[in-house]
């Protein structure tokens, strides 16, 4: 008789791991116990040696589908005190650091089967779940993942649910959110006063949608605003009330087959849509389809459409109610012509709405009906979003089902780091030992509410993971809230504070994801980030190693007449380009027609009053302005998205439309050529072809000069699918090894990981050098 202790770390809480271990041990006639710990799961086994060896093999090979085992530590013990196998109370001890968090997932097939079975006691129950599906992260207050540590603590299980919870043979054995209509959360439909309306809440909600109403629906990690996707008046009303005239709206369909008339889906796209994470995918719509007019209402001027499938039981129940409550689950696979618009319910620039009071107050002038429930959300977590119209797919926003993103690093860090991101699309990262945990998307820090959400996210993750940082990291920019929060926490906790250059962090995030320790070429194309000398930078080519970087070059600057207003009004950038080219108008656009043109010309006559920018994002805006594609932007990247939508293919250019001198890449010849074209589509294709060609030449020259063959691509401009696909193909054809982020966002949401990784590498290399790099060290009077 032998006794073995196994400590398992990874994603092993909230995925049915303890019930799996229990059944496996009982099958093999092993005694002992299993329990959650702060670091994972602890297993004690007692029995014959062959059975113990079989257990270890099957533990790895047959683990639950949502489990991710990152490490197993074994220790043979002398004790033999067990008579049977049991699930023991969770332990508060943490043998090893674990930065894994159970993730929220869509309902599994077994739960859907029960929910649509009229003979089942959970018939049409909106909060059905089991050990393989349902809410996790958004319900958790702390670890271990046990019911008392979640918002489900407020609901005492009825005898039938408790019997399931305690029965090892049941699918809901130790399913922490377990509940039913007798004992669990309840659902109601209301108007703005919050009082429940009479009748079935789902029927009231669906009737409202069919009547052209706008519905605010409380989901798993936040609220959606919904209306009928085939109702132009309802869509127009939603746009008007939400002040969202042009920004694309996504649609929710019943299943992949229902999306066939709308969009082009690859097999991989459909598999991702139907995965446990149920993300939102941005994919090409079908031109000439019957839905063409609706697509134009949903995504004006674009060629891609955001689509998603139901992610909670509540979403499926809306479709079920619409179809007259059919019995059984066969209808789930049938195509349905009706779809709903589904967009995040937060106001522009505000963080995700998570509770009923917020929704009733903040959406009072937007929604007509509210579909609410009383299961508290501890943490908000929006839809995950992928840009999938071109290969490789790009992660736009990590959210439900993906975040917090857990990464295993190639080398262990000697220091535990808390990183707080930058200004736009910020997130939080915890890094320690050989792991990193990157939070869900938090948002732009231009609103006080989002700033508070950043602080709350950092505090919640540190508490949830029992993480005590030893270094605080942020962006170089001194005036953004994430930097001020980093300085405040560093002083409060008496910790070092390290600031990392924006584009260095972009490249470092990708290096951390792929475990790159050697020197690489890093091309970063985005809106802007603060350089180490305090200047704004937006398109840079760097040589990066784990300890620092060398700037090899940057894009030739454009003028920003009117400063930040030029970023919102591309016609200003076009006017600046025309002024520098000595032209009054382009072939497709005359800035003289714009209000404020006379004043702008006076400003351009004194160019020292116009701030220069190397921003790659503004380069797209300038081209869109010159071609008359977009003169004013009502949402971020509108001009670039509309410009990309015109591209059908990239022409072969007869001449080089760029210059390269002393590391600086200039696209003035390209802008000059674009200014002569009258057809916006031809201009968009020439612009993208010239851009890809110039970037390819830039990287090829840098590779020859440095001898480096590994290239990292990052920055929000790579959400442009034409650029992403074409440049990767060109570089790979030249034999370069290209790294593009897959599990981390290519935009600023991934910056916190890069910041944390830079800090860990610097500390590992040299303690004294690390301290010299810090902006703040305890005992000093302030930042260097």
- DSSP single-letter state for residue 653: P
Per-residue pLDDT, 779: 38
Give the orientation angle of helix 570-581 with respect to helix 616-626, to 10 degrees.
Answer: 80
pLDDT at 766: 64
Distance between CA atoms of 131 and 127, rounded to whole angstroms? Answer: 13
| Cis before 392? omega within 30 | yes
Q: Which residue has the higher pLDDT, 39 or 690?
A: 690
Residue 348 has what pLDDT? 75
Give the residue among 535, 530, 538, 580 at the shortest CA–CA distance from 559.
580
Mean pLDDT of 224-251: 95
> What percent of the chain has pLDDT above 90?
75
Angle at 615 between CA 611 and CA 618, to 5 degrees: 85
Out of 48-57, 406-415, 672-681, give the one with best mean pLDDT: 672-681
Beta strands in 57-186 (DSSP E): 68-77, 85-87
**Is the pLDDT score of 777 beyond 60?**
no
Is residue 534 scored above 70 in pLDDT?
Answer: no
At residue 242, does pLDDT exceed 80? yes
pLDDT confidence bin for 649, thresholds 50/70/90: very high
The pLDDT value recorded for residue 677 is 97
d(CA 404, CA 437): 6
**Closest among 280, 283, 279, 308 to 105, alpha carbons compared:** 279
Cα–Cα dist 769/784, whole Å: 15
Half-sphere exposure of 208 (CA within 13 A, CB side): 24
Q: Does residue 191 surpass a pLDDT of 50?
A: yes
Comparing 17 with 217, the larger pLDDT belongs to 217
What are the C-alpha distances in Å from 163 to residues 159, 175, 373?
6, 12, 25
Is the bond preceding residue 222 a cis peptide, omega within 30 degrees?
Answer: no
- In order of 97, 416, 759, the CA distances from 433 in angstroms are 8, 7, 13
Task: Tell whether the model's pLDDT for residue 245 goes beyond 50.
Answer: yes
Which letter does DSSP use for residue 140 in this model? B
Q: Does residue 169 contact residue 147 with C-beta atoms inside 8 Å?
A: no
Q: What are phi and psi of 369, to 5 degrees?
A: -135, 150
Contact 555, 664 (CB under 8 A): yes
* One-character DSSP codes across 100-135: --PPPBPPPHHHHHHHT-TTSTTTT-TT--BTTBB-
Residue 84 has pLDDT above 50, yes or no: yes
Please confirm whether the linkage preceding 639 is cis (ω < 30° from 0). Answer: no
What does the radius of gyration of the chain's CA atoms come to, in whole angstroms? 27
Over range 659-669, report the average pLDDT: 96
Query: What's the average model confidence in pLDDT over 399-413?
Result: 94
CA distance 303 to 325: 35
DSSP secondary structure string, 738-759?
EE--SSS-SSGGGHHHHHHHHH
**Across 2-16, 509-523, 563-577, 747-761, least confident range:** 2-16
Residue of 313, 379, 312, 373 lying closest to 101 (CA atoms) = 379
Which residues on neighbouring strands pair with residue 44, listed in sequence order? 5, 33
Up-side HSE of residue 161: CA atoms within 13 Å toward CB?
Answer: 20
Yes or no: say if 383 and 405 are a contact pair by the CB < 8 Å rule.
Answer: no
Position 783 scores a pLDDT of 35
Q: What percent of the chain has pLDDT over 70?
A: 95
Bridge partner list, 187: 373
Neighbours of 74 (CB within 10 A): 11
Other Cβ atoms within 10 Å of 48 Cβ, number: 13
Are 282 and 304 contacting, i.e. CB atoms less than 8 angstroms apart?
yes
Residue 132 CA: distances (Å) to CA of 16, 25, 112, 627: 6, 19, 12, 52
Check whether 782 has a pLDDT greater than 70: no
pLDDT at residue 216 is higher than 80: yes
Total residues belonging to the chain:
784
Please name which of 708, 747, 753, 756 lies closest in space to residue 731, comparing C-alpha atoms. 708
- Mean pLDDT of the region 350-367: 93
Nearest Cα neighbor of 490 from 393, 418, 426 is 418
Output phi, psi for 167, to 5 deg.
-95, 110
Q: Is the pLDDT of residue 774 over 60?
A: no
Segment 529-555 mean pLDDT:
83
For 706-745, how does the pLDDT look when each residue is reduced to its tens digit (9 = 90+)?
Answer: 999 999 999 999 999 999 999 999 999 999 999 999 999 9
Q: Which helix (H) or strand (E) holds 428?
A: none
**According to the model, what pLDDT value does residue 313 have?**
97
Residue 750 · residue 506 · CB < 8 Å: yes
pLDDT single digits (tens) 202-212:
999 999 999 99
So what's the pLDDT on residue 784? Answer: 34
Taking only the tens place, the pLDDT of each residue in 276-331 is: 999 999 999 987 655 666 888 999 999 999 999 999 999 999 999 999 999 999 99
Gap between the Cα atoms of 772 and 754, Å rounded: 19
Mean pLDDT of 636-657: 95
Average pLDDT over the chain reads 91
- Maximum distance among all Cα pairs of the chain, rounded to whole angstroms: 92
Given the structure tokens 């840009």, which residue do they identify?
Answer: 387
| Average pLDDT, integer, range 336-342 | 95
Contact between residue 249 and residue 238 where contact means Cβ atoms under 8 Å apart: yes
Tokens of residue 328, six digits:
């059984």
Q: What is the DSSP letter of 285?
A: B
């Amino acid at each position: 008789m032998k006794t073995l202790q196994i400590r398992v770390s990874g994603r092993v809480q909230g995925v049915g791991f303890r019930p799996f271990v229990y059944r496996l041990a009982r099958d093999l006639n092993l005694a002992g116990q299993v329990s959650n710990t702060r670091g994972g799961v602890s297993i004690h086994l007692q029995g014959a040696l062959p059975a113990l060896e079989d257990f270890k093999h099957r533990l790895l090979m047959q683990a639950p589908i949502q489990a991710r085992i990152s490490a197993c530590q074994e220790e043979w013990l002398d004790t033999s005190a067990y008579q049977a196998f049991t699930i023991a109370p969770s332990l508060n001890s943490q043998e090893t650091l674990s930065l894994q968090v159970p993730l929220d997932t869509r309902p599994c097939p077994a739960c859907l089967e029960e929910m649509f079975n009229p003979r089942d006691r959970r018939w049409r129950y909106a909060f059905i779940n089991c050990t393989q599906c349902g809410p996790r992260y958004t319900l958790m207050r702390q670890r271990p993942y046990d019911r008392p540590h979640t918002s489900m603590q407020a609901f005492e299980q009825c005898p039938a649910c408790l019997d399931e919870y305690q029965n090892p043979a049941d699918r809901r054995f130790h399913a922490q959110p377990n509940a039913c209509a007798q004992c669990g959360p309840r659902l109601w439909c209301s108007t703005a006063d919050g009082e429940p309306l009479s009748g079935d809440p789902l029927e009231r909600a669906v009737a409202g949608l069919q009547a052209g109403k706008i519905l605010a629906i409380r989901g798993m990690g936040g609220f959606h605003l919904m209306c009928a996707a085939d109702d132009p008046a309802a869509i127009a009303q939603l746009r008007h009330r939400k002040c969202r005239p042009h920004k694309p709206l996504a649609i929710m369909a019943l299943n992949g087959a229902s999306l066939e008339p709308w969009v082009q889906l690859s097999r991989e796209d459909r598999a991702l849509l139907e995965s446990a994470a149920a993300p939102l995918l941005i994919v090409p719509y079908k031109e000439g389809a019957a839905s063409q007019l609706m697509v134009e209402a949903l995504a004006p001027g674009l060629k891609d459409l955001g689509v998603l499938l139901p992610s909670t039981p509540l979403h499926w129940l809306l479709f079920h109610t619409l179809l007259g409550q059919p019995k059984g689950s066969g209808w789930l696979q049938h195509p349905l012509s009706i779809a709903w618009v589904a967009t995040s319910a937060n106001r522009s620039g505000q963080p995700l709405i998570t509770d009923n009071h917020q929704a009733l107050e903040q959406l009072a002038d937007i929604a007509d009906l509210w579909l609410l429930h009383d299961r508290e959300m501890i943490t908000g977590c929006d839809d995950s979003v992928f840009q999938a119209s071109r290969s490789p797919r790009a992660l736009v926003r990590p959210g439900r089902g993906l975040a917090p993103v857990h990464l295993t690093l190639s080398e262990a860090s000697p220091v535990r780091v808390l990183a707080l991101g930058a200004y736009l699309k910020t997130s939080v990262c915890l890094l320690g030992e050989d792991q990193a945990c990157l939070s869900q998307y938090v948002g732009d820090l231009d609103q006080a509410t989002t700033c508070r959400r950043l602080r709350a996210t950092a505090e919640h993750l540190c508490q949830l993971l029992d993480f005590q940082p030893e270094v605080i990291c942020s962006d170089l920019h001194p005036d953004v809230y994430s930097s001020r929060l980093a300085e405040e926490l560093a002083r409060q906790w008496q910790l070092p504070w390290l600031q990392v250059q924006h584009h260095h962090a972009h490249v470092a995030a990708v290096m951390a994801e792929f475990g790159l320790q050697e020197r690489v070429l890093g091309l970063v194309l985005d809106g802007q980030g603060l350089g180490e000398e305090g200047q704004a930078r937006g398109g840079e080519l760097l040589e990066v190693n784990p300890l620092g970087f060398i700037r090899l070059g940057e894009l030739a600057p454009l003028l920003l007449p009117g400063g930040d207003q030029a970023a919102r009004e591309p016609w200003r950038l076009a006017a600046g380009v025309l002024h520098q080219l000595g032209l009054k108008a382009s072939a497709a656009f005359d800035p003289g027609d714009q209000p404020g043109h006379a004043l702008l010309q006076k400003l351009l006559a004194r160019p020292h009053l116009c701030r220069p920018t190397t921003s790659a994002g503004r380069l797209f805006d300038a081209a869109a302005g010159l071609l008359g594609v977009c003169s004013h932007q009502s949402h971020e990247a509108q001009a670039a998205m509309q410009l990309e939508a015109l591209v059908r293919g990239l022409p072969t250019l007869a001449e080089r439309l760029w210059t390269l001198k002393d590391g600086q890449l200039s696209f003035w010849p390209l802008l000059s050529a674009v200014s002569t074209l009258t057809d916006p589509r031809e201009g968009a294709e020439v612009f993208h072809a010239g851009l890809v060609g110039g970037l390819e030449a830039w990287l090829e020259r840098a590779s020859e000069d440095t001898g480096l063959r590994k290239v990292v691509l990052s920055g929000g401009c790579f959400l442009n699918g034409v650029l992403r696909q074409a440049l990767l193909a060109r570089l790979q054809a030249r034999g370069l090894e290209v790294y593009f982020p897959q599990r981390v966002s290519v935009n600023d949401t991934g910056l916190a990981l890069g910041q944390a990784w830079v800090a860990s590498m610097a500390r590992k290399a040299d303690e004294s050098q690390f301290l010299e790099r810090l902006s703040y060290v305890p005992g000093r009077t302030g930042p260097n």
